[in-house]
Structure 1
Amino acid sequence: MPHPEALSGTAWRGTVLAGLGVLTFSMSFPATAFAMRGFDPYLVAVGRASVAAAAALVFLLATRAPLLPPRRLLGSYLLIVAGVVIGFPLFSGLALDAGASASHAAVVIGLLPAATAACAAVRGGERPRPLFWATCALGAAAITAFTLSRGGGHVTGADLLLVGALVSAAVGYTEGGRLAREIPGSRVISHALVVAAPLTVPVTVALALATESRPDAVSVAGFAYVGLFSMFLGFIPWYAGLAAGGIARAGQTQLAQPLLTLVWAWLLMGERFGPVTVVAAVAVLACVAASQRARS
């Protein structure tokens, strides 16, 4: 049986690795907004996966790893593809295109840690305490109040798209964290991108030919970031952290992501957000933190 100190050290390592992933992901919304200044939203959503697939292929060849995952794990990889390779980029990009600001999107996605923990509970067969679900419900109520206040009393189409992004990411994170317990996180995301490539690459080419692009330095930099960092490099420490520290525990590092995104949106995009946004972000953080403690 592993020594308790060894277990504690592994958990701490998982938290640090997951934190690196969160730091990378926190720039995703501003970078996506920059990319869409010069490229079609659908092209950004799908094209980022093609850019990441090229990087993943280079990585697999350089490390002499198998180019395809074991057939027995194909179902899990398809869930990762549906969740974080296609679902989250598509839904979040369309939400930004539909009018959601990067700061608004960050607050709504603030429920992602709780959603990921809930998915981990379902997939792992765990039975969270009633307090866990109560705090999740409070967090959902805070998000609903925020979206209604920003949407003139009703939920907007952009908000529904962000919910789709939330669910997609939770599924992809959970499945990737599970696989990373037996396979290195770098290989998990690389194989997921390669599995998706027969779909993402042809669609990217078709969209590039069919849509109008007005690339400049800012939009190209944004596109490059979401392709190389948000879609590939960030997942390497993220999945490794979930595997080492536990999906629910290490996933708590995402508590910092909404606030980090608000800072990036302010520094890079000049977005201004009032006290309602800040209060909503803090309320979500409090509810999610309570849900993680309740779950343990």
Structure 2
Amino acid sequence: MTGGASKRDAARGLWLGVLAMAMFGLTLPMTQLAVGSAAAPQLSPLFVTSARAVVAAGLSALLLWTTRAPWPRRAHWPALAIAALGNAIGYPLLLAWSLRHVSSAHAAVITALAPLLTAVAAAIVMRQRARLGFWGCALAGCALVVAYSLLRAAGSGNAGLAPGAVDAVLFVAVLAASIGYVYGARVTPELGAERVICWVTLVALPVTLPVALLNWPAQPVAASAWVGFGYVSLFSMWIGFFAWYRALAIGGALRVSQVQLLQPFFAMGFAWPLLGERIELQSLGFAIAVIATVWLGRRFSASPSPARTVR
């Protein structure tokens, strides 16, 4: 691969990652809309987690059948199973449960660690290396997002931000998602980004289908909860991963992972038209600073190394 091709792939990976983050930016508020609060519950976290994966699995089966996609080889199944545990079950279930007890702003404090944890997982699993400056930028970006989330929560009068049981659950959720991202990216070069998330949802189906049926809502649910559920089923669980897995594969999982730093700011932007929350200058300043760390991190990172072929 030529140097020019490598730069083009890096740029494509970055912009695909940004597109995925734009879609994922609504995951927290839409999940909270779906599950409600402890005082006013809507759909159960178990139902939201399992049923959204079932919806995605149905769409995946249709896509794989119409495109006559070949079955994954035996060596692919372990990585797909790990990705399913992390991205289709672990992260959405723990996130949905947590959002019953804390606000989206609180959850953003912990989920801001996703880029750093994904970079660490990529470095370990895919043996991708970067210079010390990259890690410094990753830590600086995470610190900026955490500081922003804390300031925004304090400004809105939210309390209870001290680490606790819910924060520990959120940390495990982000860790599960990060590991799932990397294992999905590991088999993307051979299976293709679209087919990876399709197989991930189908691998999870023996678990998600019975859980969804057993937790079908017995009480009336607000229409807004079904809107939130529809979004996380179609975009958070399916379409967003098409762009995200491909971005991680062609741009380098370690490098592109830092684009996740932008996710809280996409959520902030979408909250304006949906919830009437105006964008403040302080928020805009933090967004610019975070983008700067992502850009600097790209400068410090090594050339994206291809994922190892699974044989």
Indicate if the aligned counterparts of 1:35 and 1:219 stay in contact, CA closer than 8 A. yes
> In 1, distance between residues paired with 2:13 and 2:129?
23
Q: 1:24 matched to which residue of 2?
A: 23
Shift of 1:185: 0.4
Normalised by the length of structure 2, the TM-score is 0.81
Name the amino acid aligned to 1:46: S
Indicate if the aligned counterparts of 2:262 and 2:290 stay in contact, CA closer than 8 A. no
Matches within 5 A, 1:87-236: 87-101=90-104, 103-134=105-136, 136=138, 151-152=159-160, 154-208=162-216, 211-236=217-242
Residue 254 of structure 2 is aligned to residue 252 of structure 1: no
> In 1, distance between residues paired with 2:242 and 2:129?
29
Q: 2:243 matched to which residue of 1?
A: 237
- Judged with a 3 Å threshold, the aligned counterparts in structure 2 of structure 1 residues 237 and 142 are, in CA distance, closer, same or farther, namely closer
Query: Which of 43, 47, 64 lines up with 1:43 in the alignment?
Result: 47
Indicate if the aligned counterparts of 1:76 and 1:175 stay in contact, CA closer than 8 A. yes
1:47 aligned counterpart, secondary structure? helix
Shift of 1:11: 2.1
Name the amino acid aligned to 1:155: P
Q: Deviations over 1:255-296 (max 9, x none)?
A: 221111122234424568999988887777666666555444
Indicate if the aligned counterparts of 1:107 and 1:277 stay in contact, CA closer than 8 A. no
Shifted more, 19-28 versus 193-202: the winner is 19-28
Shifted more, 165-174 versus 137-146: the winner is 137-146
- Judged with a 3 Å threshold, the aligned counterparts in structure 2 of structure 1 residues 250 and 100 are, in CA distance, closer, same or farther, namely same
Residue 76 of structure 2 is aligned to residue 57 of structure 1: no
Percentage identity across paired residues of the two chains: 35
> In 1, distance between residues paired with 2:67 and 2:134?
42
> In 1, distance between residues paired with 2:281 and 2:233?
33
Shift of 1:131: 4.5
2:196 aligned counterpart, secondary structure? helix
Larger proportion of helix = 1
Q: 1:85 matched to which residue of 2?
A: 88
> In 2, distance between residues paired with 1:142 and 1:23?
19
Name the amino acid aligned to 1:161: V
Indicate if the aligned counterparts of 1:10 and 1:245 stay in contact, CA closer than 8 A. yes
- Judged with a 3 Å threshold, the aligned counterparts in structure 2 of structure 1 residues 198 and 28 are, in CA distance, closer, same or farther, namely same
> In 1, distance between residues paired with 2:285 and 2:106?
12
Shift of 1:153: 6.5
Indicate if the aligned counterparts of 2:49 and 2:93 stay in contact, CA closer than 8 A. yes
Q: Give the paired residue count.
A: 291
